[in-house]
Structure 1
Amino acid sequence: MRFAAMILVLILAISMSRFATADNANVQITVVDQSGAPLPCRIHLHDKDGKPQRAGDLPFFRDHFVCPGEVRMQLPVGDYRVEIERGPEYEQYADSFTVAESAVKELSVCLKRIANLAAEGWYSGDLHVHRAIEDIPLLMRAEDLNVAPVITWWNNRNVWSARERPKNPLTQIDGNRYYHVMAGEDEREGGALMYFNRKQHLPITGSTREYPSPMTFVNQAHEEGDVWIDIEKPFWWDVPVWLASGQFDSVGLANNHMCRSRMYESEAWGRPRNEDRLPAPRGNGFWTQEIYYHILNCGLRVPPSAGSASGVLPNPLGYNRVYVYCGDDFNYDTWWQGLKAGRSFVTNGPLLLAKANGQLPGHVFASTDEQPVEIDMEVSLISRDPIAAIEIIRNGKIERTVPIAGKSQAINLGKITFGQSGWFLVRAITDLEHTFRFASTAPYYVEVGSDKRFLSRSSANFFLDWAVERIARVPLKLNDSEKLEDVLAHHQRAKKFWQQVAAEANAD
């Protein structure tokens, strides 16, 4: 009897297997460029219920997979929606199709390139990458990304505890793509810091929410040699401390709160915005920009950066990216040098190339004889999404709004005049309502006379008030008196720094 039951179960299993196979069909997707060559790309493929589909062993995350230009897969019969992309320099393909029983579905797509920024000397990077090391080459090709520092160590995990650390953490592929596998992230109560270009990890594993201070590891990193430290988002609670230390290289203006399909609408455990003034879903994006402008208003020349957190949050690699101008001299080192100089723009969609009096972002216009400086602004904009206007931001405020028609064009924004020192940049925000999709140049700087930096009293007090709030919060999660004293020392130094900036202010 038991034998007969086993036979029946086996027959049922075989029958179900045949039934499942009968309800599947072969699907082949081929993607090429305009020359007909296979084009690595990202594919979002959903069934009629919105369930994302995988493609064998190809790298998959959340709602998409990447392929080298061709993929063969089996799908259940039914209706599907597909979107195919390759970073912001290619048009998007979107369509629906039906998979029929006992038929081969072939989908051939040619993605048209709408920009070739590398040919113009601009190279892209994503500074927040949590993807598997072995997937990085295909991911970079599929997103047409040039620089990717891969995070392999952070507070609760270190990849190198289970595998041998490479002698050379930097790998070059295709001649114009680089990935570095020794990036790290220290993410705790005060926020997140990103460490790049180190040869080994920092001993952050086991740190508590408040102790030791993130500044302990910042100081260690600088003592041990070359390092690039990025403030991952400008609204993290410890930002006033980090800025006051002067040991940071960039700040995340296009960060992972901004996603392809949505916004993270709150500031998580960062300093909250006024939601009545800056309502969801896009309020966090405007708050991020406001804080960055306060940083610049305090005379701190910190370039903006971009990161997607693909592998943790629902973004593809390179969704948030920073383009750096290297001209004909692109390599890993010159890219970081260009970022340091601010020859860059950040984006999660639009491509915004700007020149002021023929100069790239990051340029310092100097007038030693105190004569006014006149700036003539020209931009080139390419966008797949509608944009109503381009804005010039001057000393933290909208100086000029220039309406535009269409998605792509070259335009002269007119002239602006500086009678005293200051800064300006150009931004373009799309009309999308579900996410904050934008582009922003890095700042330009203007020096007129002896006061070479614009120092706003209100911006300094903005960070001073923030520092005082943070000092009151630290004891809530740290009650060991000795440890508390050690951590608060950094915050007290920051408080004094912002008091001094406010005292030296030369503008309201």
Structure 2
Amino acid sequence: MPSPNYRLLWSAALLCLPGGGASAWAAGGSLTLKLQEESDGKPAISRVEIFRGAAAPAGADSGPARSEKSMPIRQTVPAGMGIVVDRQVVLELPDGPYRFRIVRGPEYRIIGGNFLLERTSLDEKTIDLPRMVDMAAEGWLAGDCFVLPSDSSLPLRMAAEDLHVAAVAGKQVAKPIPHRDDDEPIQHSPLWVRTDVSHVDGLAVYGTGGESAPAVSNAGTTSSGAITTSLQQLARVARSETDQLRVAIENPFAWELPVWLASGRIDGMFVLGDWLRLDKSVLSVPGGRIGESFTLGESTQVGRYAETVYRHAINAGLELAPLAGGGNQSGRTPVGYNRLYVTAAESTSSDDSLETPHCPTDADAWWEAVWRGSSVATNGPLLRPLLGGKLPGHVFRGKTGQSLQLQPELNLTVRDPVDYLEVLHNNQIHYSARLDEFARQGGKIPPITAEGSGWVMIRVLTLYEGHYRAAVSAPWWIEWDGRRHVDPDSVQFFQQWLADYEDRLKRLPADQLQAYVPFVQAARRFWEHRASLARSGDQTSGNATGTGQP
């Protein structure tokens, strides 16, 4: 195998003041703001935040205070935080000083500056948008795996965030785009949007709206009247005769989570979701199971815990794809802030050959790669990792008496200062370093010596203070003699969760409690079986199914 090639691309965010230094633009009553690509001068679409006042932005992507709302601009499409500037916009605002931020997803530098509106003249300014990295050109295509329906044009908002794929939980007719003909195409390709997603009490079910897919209702009641919507939903999916349905855990804090995992029908879990928002800090999750430490009010704790839950799930031997998206409670967070970068490298049968990422050719190929785990979830850092020359989702195979030397490699582009990067092997830290330490070591990560089943992940955590901002790779899997790794501590993590859920259910009236009994009993059997596998090490490849069905 060729020697590894390490490359770290460090790019700090630019907060440019157009015109140089701290100078302002003087405009009489109105300012026409035009956006274009720096590379070729083509008109660009981007999200723009405009604030009243002359104070400069605080720093690289820290932005304004969360309590400060950007100003609405007439005849524009709202973008959650700010507006979409569709190539250009005429700003007609009361006289006075203003400041702005232009944010076009994580692959572009952030542009900031200020201007002054006066009555004496008119002005026009063109701003170049500098791209730091072209992920699509490198074979990685970004998508938001859960978007709430809106009457604001989704394709336009996706173009403004340099996003290519979106899954919408329902359909809603969009309003016309101001200053754009109905048949005028949005120059941003590809734009793949699916609307066949149902949300049921913390579960996202994909494929519910196609003609050949069975309809899955959003609610259900038992004969006793006790509502067990998500559990009944999984039972319906398990009984369906189609393989088109995919189910992801959108709320990894839900009390029902160990029962969901035990169903054998969970395909993925959100590691970045609506607990990571730009419009407010989420310090706890109402109605969810969280640890006592959450009373500390630390801003990154919820995001860290979601990732911890995911890692325990795969460490218990469950093959789950990581997902990222806005989520059911995304508030004003722009589409694609939490995103999943997916690649569709051709699978190979040889562990000695290198894999090269390339973009999926259509939406179906993108989603197939999602469920295969060829992905990186992020809300900031742009991580392109390899392990042993293979992309995330690859399965390494070995036999008793052998060992594998697996070399981690990565390319990284960041705007925020990075706290540290880590390589995790079977839920233990194999390597951890700050970027300056990593650079002093020549960008070299010690190889992983695998002598048994397991998994590997690479993650990058930033120093952003608002919430957990990170990039997390999907796992690489290591199978020894056809077996997957099942860790007793992770199994115990979910057994305790299930026991706490049972204690919670016991508070219900007897007639309502009865509706939950078969689901909980099946889950208990499932996790007991997992525990026995952990003790014996006798876990076959893939997810266990059937033992968790009522």
Report the TM range for the smaller structure's normalisation. Answer: 0.7 to 0.9
Q: Which of 450, 464, 483 is 1:432 aligned to?
A: 464
Cα deviation per residue 1:85-134 (whole Å; 9 max; x = unaligned)? 11111111111222223433434211111111111221111012114255
* Aligned 8 A contact 1:59 1:135 in 2: yes
Distance between the aligned counterparts of 1:24 and 1:286, measured in 2? 49
Distance between the aligned counterparts of 2:463 and 2:52, measured in 1? 28
- What does residue range 222-233 of structure 1 map to in structure 2 within 5 Å? 223=240, 225=242, 226-233=244-251
Q: Which moved further from structure 2: 259-268 or 401-410?
A: 401-410
Q: Which of 31, 34, 53 is 1:30 aligned to?
A: 34
**Aligned twin of 1:214:** 230
Counterparts in 2 of 1:213 and 1:181: CA distance versus 1, 3 Å: closer
Q: Which of 248, 270, 282 is 2:266 aligned to?
A: 248
**Aligned twin of 1:346:** 377
Counterparts in 2 of 1:495 and 1:104: CA distance versus 1, 3 Å: farther
Letter in 2 for 1:75: L
Counterparts in 2 of 1:63 and 1:144: CA distance versus 1, 3 Å: closer
Q: Which of 376, 380, 398 is 2:429 aligned to?
A: 398
Q: Which of 32, 51, 57 is 2:75 aligned to?
A: 57
Distance between the aligned counterparts of 2:79 and 2:516, measured in 1? 38
Q: Percent identity?
A: 28
Distance between the aligned counterparts of 1:289 and 1:230, measured in 2? 15
Letter in 2 for 1:25: G
* Aligned 8 A contact 1:84 1:93 in 2: yes
Letter in 1 for 2:154: I
2:369 equivalent to 1:365: no
Counterparts in 2 of 1:213 and 1:390: CA distance versus 1, 3 Å: same
* 1:103 match: secondary structure: strand
Counterparts in 2 of 1:121 and 1:76: CA distance versus 1, 3 Å: same
Q: Which of 502, 506, 509 is 1:479 aligned to?
A: 509
Q: CA deviation at 1:317?
A: 0.4
Distance between the aligned counterparts of 2:335 and 2:306, measured in 1? 21
* Aligned 8 A contact 1:254 1:347 in 2: yes
Distance between the aligned counterparts of 1:224 and 1:139, measured in 2? 36
2:196 equivalent to 1:182: yes
**Aligned twin of 2:89:** 71
Counterparts in 2 of 1:52 and 1:408: CA distance versus 1, 3 Å: farther
- Higher relative CO (Cα under 8 Å, sequence separation at least 6) belongs to 2
**Aligned twin of 2:155:** 137
* Aligned 8 A contact 1:59 1:66 in 2: yes
Q: Which moved further from structure 2: 351-360 or 320-329?
A: 320-329
Q: Which of 98, 101, 125 is 1:80 aligned to?
A: 98
Letter in 2 for 1:437: R
Letter in 2 for 1:215: L
Counterparts in 2 of 1:238 and 1:363: CA distance versus 1, 3 Å: same
Q: CA deviation at 1:310?
A: 8.3
Distance between the aligned counterparts of 1:348 and 1:499, measured in 2? 36
Q: Which of 286, 290, 301 is 1:272 aligned to?
A: 290
Cα deviation per residue 1:133-183 (whole Å; 9 max; x = unaligned)? 551110111111111111127xxxxx69xxxxxxxxxx9985411111232
Q: Which has the higher strand share?
A: 1
Letter in 1 for 2:190: N
2:549 equivalent to 1:504: no
**Aligned twin of 1:11:** none
Letter in 2 for 1:295: A
2:494 equivalent to 1:463: yes
Cα deviation per residue 1:44-85 (whole Å; 9 max; x = unaligned)? 111139442122232215431112221113111122221111
Q: Which of 112, 135, 144 is 2:130 aligned to?
A: 112
* 1:96 match: secondary structure: strand
* 1:118 match: secondary structure: coil
**Aligned twin of 1:202:** 216
Consecutive aligned runs of 4 or more in structure 1 exceeding 4 Å deviation: 171-175, 205-210, 276-279, 406-410
Distance between the aligned counterparts of 2:277 and 2:379, measured in 1? 9
Counterparts in 2 of 1:489 and 1:88: CA distance versus 1, 3 Å: same
Counterparts in 2 of 1:114 and 1:247: CA distance versus 1, 3 Å: same
* Aligned 8 A contact 1:133 1:150 in 2: no
Q: Which of 423, 432, 447 is 2:455 aligned to?
A: 423
Q: CA RMSD in A?
A: 2.9
- What does residue range 276-291 of structure 1 map to in structure 2 within 5 Å? 280-291=298-309
Q: CA deviation at 1:341?
A: 1.2
Distance between the aligned counterparts of 2:186 and 2:199, measured in 1? 23
Distance between the aligned counterparts of 1:25 and 1:456, measured in 2? 66
- What does residue range 374-393 of structure 1 map to in structure 2 within 5 Å? 374-393=405-424
Letter in 2 for 1:359: K
Q: Which of 275, 297, 310 is 1:257 aligned to?
A: 275
Q: CA deviation at 1:392?
A: 0.5
* 2:419 match: secondary structure: strand
Q: CA deviation at 1:363?
A: 0.8
TM-score, normalization: structure 2?
Answer: 0.78
* Aligned 8 A contact 1:54 1:65 in 2: yes
Cα deviation per residue 1:413-447 (whole Å; 9 max; x = unaligned)? 23111122111100000011222110011001112
Equivalenced residue count is 464
Q: Which moved further from structure 2: 193-202 or 315-324?
A: 193-202
**Aligned twin of 1:46:** 51
Q: CA deviation at 1:484?
A: 2.8
Q: CA deviation at 1:388?
A: 3.4
Counterparts in 2 of 1:224 and 1:420: CA distance versus 1, 3 Å: closer
Letter in 1 for 2:47: R
**Aligned twin of 1:10:** none
Distance between the aligned counterparts of 1:78 and 1:407, measured in 2? 47
Q: Which has the higher helix share?
A: 1
Distance between the aligned counterparts of 1:57 and 1:381, measured in 2? 38
Counterparts in 2 of 1:323 and 1:488: CA distance versus 1, 3 Å: same
Q: CA deviation at 1:216?
A: 1.5
* Aligned 8 A contact 2:220 2:227 in 1: no
Cα deviation per residue 1:202-234 (whole Å; 9 max; x = unaligned)? 332586996134122223345163112110132
Which blocks of at least 5 consecutive residues in structure 2 are unaligned? 1-26, 54-66, 174-184, 345-357, 538-550
**Aligned twin of 1:6:** none
* Aligned 8 A contact 2:231 2:519 in 1: yes
Distance between the aligned counterparts of 2:228 and 2:139, measured in 1? 42
Q: Which moved further from structure 2: 206-215 or 98-107?
A: 206-215
* Aligned 8 A contact 1:402 1:413 in 2: no
* Aligned 8 A contact 1:298 1:456 in 2: yes
